[in-house]
Amino acid sequence: MRLTLLLYQLSAFLLYALFLIFLAAQAFPWTEDRYSFYLDRRKIGLWPSLATFCATWMSAASITGFTFWLSFGGYAAFTGSVYGWLLGLIFLPFAVRKLRSLRVLSLPEWLSQTYGDERLRKVAAITLVMAYTLYIVIQFRAFGTIVAHLLSIRITLASVVVYLFVLYTTFGGLPSVVRSDSLNLAIILGGVTLGAFWVLGSAGSPLHIHRELLRSSPELLSPFSGEPPLYLFAMLFTWAFGVASNPQYAIRIISAKSSRTAWKMLALAPFVVGWIYLCLTLFGLGSTLLFSAPPGVDTETGYVMLCTSVLPPLPAMLMLVAALAAAISTANSQLLLAACALCYDLGLGERNIPRDEPFREDRFLFRNRLMVALIATVALALSLLPLPGILALGRYSWAVVTLCFLLPLYFPCGRGELFLPLLGALGLHTFLVFFTALSPEYALFPALALEWITWKILARREALHAA
């Protein structure tokens, strides 16, 4: 690697590290409790809420996976993922009142309070811990590859460096996650904007790129680009339902200063993420004319190759740091939610602490930080193992989160009797994914149907009994 390029990349990484440390450190307060640790006292204003919502939205999968897929698969990537993500956003404004009225600290708690069943809280919390741990593994893999390239170090060492970043930003709870997310969003926006403009400069205007693609590979311009439409639709709705029901977005609705702030955040968010998708799409399509990836290359390496082959050192480095920022901003919020599920919803944070203990809250928060470290360590260890189906596991985790929260949040069938339908749906989905060849996207729909039908039947039976 050329020395100038390495120097550029090293200084970009150091600058990012310094800013992150400075911003996150400001969030460590002298007095704190679980209300401030999980929700930042529900006082987050519009702009920080918008920044943390959008930064959490853009994960490593959105940046590296989408861009790389687009560069060889054309508009099918757009149909399968961007439409799905944006469609999910349409649901969220309808959840604002429901989520904020109960003054809960977590989504599993909301579920149990709304439907009056403590078992729901336990099942949802266990599902969240499992789902987020698997998802963090993917984030670690993605940024391990990128940091290894940026610093010319081994992937193992790079993963450990980023693991420390994620731990550091999560230890301060939501206040520190929100502060670091503002920086992360600015980096993502700057990186993708510069990258897209640079590619437009080399490959020509968007119209020229489309005309060239029409001449050389017209199939890339079709909304399905050779992928089976049924598969793309299944993927689209899995993403949409996943976004609508994922606690990593719902918690930002709860932590906003007021319901109006939450609604404004949801109205403005599509424009921010839309700009990022626009830049990534122009970058991906433009780079199709300038670069073709060798066959069999994995997504993260493909993304690194794409950036470094198409762009000069400075914009390439910014695009890589943007992917890094996206991965960190998603991983730290998922880590916080997983720790919350373990310590608060499953009760591990307060087990064996006497009620009259004066430092009860401090010990509770200490255990939260311990769990953050534990989950991150497990995810790091899993990310270093050669697990071939890890991406499918990520899709599986997205689907089980949907099963836990989609129907209760948006399509409730009754007040009680959700426990058995939910357990049945999770069981059916797991069976279909692990014991038949069905992909997690396809398996979601029979599982959702089972949950809805059994819940409807049980609710009707309960109503008849009451009458």
Q: What are phi and psi of 44, to 5 degrees?
A: -75, 125
Interface with another protein, residue 210, by CB under 8 A: yes
Residue with smaller CB distance to another protein, 37 or 75: 75
Residue with smaller CB distance to another protein, 238 or 334: 238
Interface with another protein, residue 219, by CB under 8 A: yes
Residue with smaller CB distance to another protein, 33 or 219: 219
Interface with another protein, residue 267, by CB under 8 A: yes
Torsion of CA 186, 192, 196, 202, to 10 degrees: 110
Supply the minimum distance, in Å, between the C-beta of residue 89 and another protein. Answer: 5
* Interacting residues with another protein between 61 and 90 (CB under 8 A): 75, 78-79, 82-83, 86-87, 89-90
Distance of alpha carbon 154 from alpha carbon 172, whole angstroms = 29
Residue with smaller CB distance to another protein, 82 or 339: 82
Residue with smaller CB distance to another protein, 209 or 372: 209
Burial of 405 (0-12, 13-18, 19+ CB in 10 A): buried
Token pair for residue 202? 């080399």
Stretch of residues binding another protein (CB under 8 A), selected from 226-234, 255-263, 342-350, 455-463? 255-263
Instruction: Indicate left, alpha or beta for 417 from its phi (over 0: left) and psi (-120 to 50: alpha).
Output: left
Interface with another protein, residue 58, by CB under 8 A: no
Interface with another protein, residue 204, by CB under 8 A: no
Q: Is the Cβ–Cβ distance between 304 and 67 less than 8 Å?
A: no
Residue with smaller CB distance to another protein, 151 or 278: 278
Q: Is the Cβ–Cβ distance between 71 and 373 less than 8 Å?
A: no
Interface with another protein, residue 263, by CB under 8 A: yes
Interface with another protein, residue 276, by CB under 8 A: no
Distance of alpha carbon 433 from alpha carbon 438, whole angstroms = 6
Q: HSE of 58 in the Cβ direction (CA atoms, 13 Å)?
A: 32
Q: Is the Cβ–Cβ distance between 290 and 84 less than 8 Å?
A: no
Supply the minimum distance, in Å, between the C-beta of residue 392 and another protein. Answer: 27
**Secondary structure element (H or E) that encloses residue 186, with its range:** helix 173-203
Supply the minimum distance, in Å, between the C-beta of residue 74 and another protein. Answer: 9
Residue with smaller CB distance to another protein, 28 or 94: 94
Residues forming beta bridges with residue 256, ordered by sequence position? 44
Which residue among 96, 129, 166, 413 contacts another protein (CB under 8 A)? 96
Which residue among 42, 122, 264, 360 contacts another protein (CB under 8 A)? 264
Q: What are phi and psi of 267, to 5 degrees?
A: -75, -35
Three-state DSSP string of 413-465: CCCCCCHHHHHHHHHHHHHHHHHCCCCHHHHHHHHHHHHHHHHHHHHHHHHHH
Residue with smaller CB distance to another protein, 112 or 287: 287
Interface with another protein, residue 98, by CB under 8 A: no
Residue with smaller CB distance to another protein, 76 or 400: 76
Distance of alpha carbon 184 from alpha carbon 51, whole angstroms = 8
Among 289, 323, 375, which Cα is nearest to 70's? 289
Which residue among 218, 226, 416, 427 contacts another protein (CB under 8 A)? 218
Stretch of residues binding another protein (CB under 8 A), selected from 101-109, 185-193, 261-269, 362-370? 261-269
Interface with another protein, residue 211, by CB under 8 A: yes
Distance of alpha carbon 380 from alpha carbon 132, whole angstroms = 13
Supply the minimum distance, in Å, between the C-beta of residue 245 and another protein. Answer: 16
Q: Which residues would be at the binding site for another protein (CB under 8 A)?
A: 75, 78-79, 82-83, 86-87, 89-90, 92-93, 96, 210-211, 214, 218-219, 221-223, 259-260, 263-264, 266-271, 274, 277
